[in-house]
Structures are given as C-alpha cells and as structure tokens.
C-alpha cells in the first residue's frame, strides 16, 4: 500500500510538495519498477503527471507540467516526491502515486496509462484557488 501526503490548499502561483511512501518490499522485489504520479478530478479518468524508473535518473512529465513540477525519489527513504511550483487552479485534483513493473523505456516515454498500474495509494487532495 502506497501512502501519499502533502496535499493542501494554496493560492495560484504557490507551491506544494507531495510525498509517497512506497513499501520497502515493493521496491526490493521489483527491479523493473515504474513509479508514477497521477491526478483525477470528479468525473474524469486518472491522468498521468510524471513517472520515474526505480533507480533511474530520467523522468517522464506530461507536457502541461513540464517546467513546473519535479518528480524525485529517495530510495533510502522508500519515498517519492512531487514538487509542484507555479500552481494553477486547473491543477486542483486528487493526486495519487502508483507503482508497477513496466519496462524502462515505456516508463520514461509515458507509454502507460492508469490501467497499467495495479498498486495505488489512497490519494491526497490538492486545491488551488
């Protein structure tokens, strides 16, 4: 079970940093682990925000967050992060982290969807006004 935290309410232009605690055994058991952030608004499907391959330096970003959001990982702490800057009202959503075994190239290229991932957190709400 992944556990997200760090959501909240901010004004447009503000920043938030989300965290996602990944179970240590998940990180250890699956060498080909793609770790991703998604977001979802009511009535909409979950959309991918960013993804990183376990232990890899490269990160995928959706076009609409490039330059504003930064995803990182700390393997020692089994934690993913999503630093969100220059937030806009349209960034308001429930944010989820997810993990699954996905090939490295597919992970970096964004060749996945919410259906690809089977391990999810409960989500953390981000509201931008």
Q: Which run of H or of E encompasses 106?
A: helix 104-109
Mean pLDDT of the chain: 92
CA distance 56 to 36: 13
56 or 22: which carries more pLDDT confidence? Answer: 22
Go through 37-69 and write b for each residue having 16 or more CB atoms within 10 A of its CB, e for each that does not.
Answer: bbbeeeeeebebbbbbbbeeeebbbbeebeeeb
Q: Residue 92 — pLDDT band, cuts 50, 70, 90?
A: very high
Q: 71 vs 18, 37, 42, 44, 60, CA distance in Å?
A: 9, 8, 24, 23, 9
pLDDT higher than 90, residue 32: no
Q: Which run of H or of E encompasses 109?
A: helix 104-109
Partnered with residue 2 across adjacent β-strands are 121
Give residue 62's pLDDT. 95
What does the pLDDT look like over 46-79, one tens digit per residue?
999 999 988 777 899 999 998 999 999 888 888 9
85: three-class secondary structure by DSSP: coil
Of the ranges 30-34, 50-54, 114-118, which one carries the lowest mean pLDDT score? 30-34
CA distance 78 to 24: 6
pLDDT higher than 80, residue 85: yes
The two structure tokens encoding residue 99 = 């993990």
Give residue 1's pLDDT. 86
The two structure tokens encoding residue 97 = 């982290």
Q: Residue 29 — pLDDT band, cuts 50, 70, 90?
A: low
Mean pLDDT across the stretch 101-129? 94
């Amino acid at each position: 079970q992944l556990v997200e935290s760090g959501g909240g309410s901010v004004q447009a232009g503000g920043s938030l940093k989300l965290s996602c605690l990944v179970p240590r055994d998940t990180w250890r058991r699956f060498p080909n682990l793609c770790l991703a952030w998604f977001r979802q608004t009511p009535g909409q499907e979950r959309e991918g925000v960013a993804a990183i391959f376990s232990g890899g330096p490269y990160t995928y970003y959706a076009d609409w967050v490039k330059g504003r959001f930064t995803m990182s990982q700390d393997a020692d702490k089994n934690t993913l992060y999503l630093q969100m800057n220059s937030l806009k009202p349209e960034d308001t959503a429930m944010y989820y982290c997810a993990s699954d075994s996905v090939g490295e190239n597919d992970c970096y290229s964004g060749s996945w969807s919410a259906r690809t991932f089977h391990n999810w957190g409960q989500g953390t709400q981000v509201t931008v006004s």
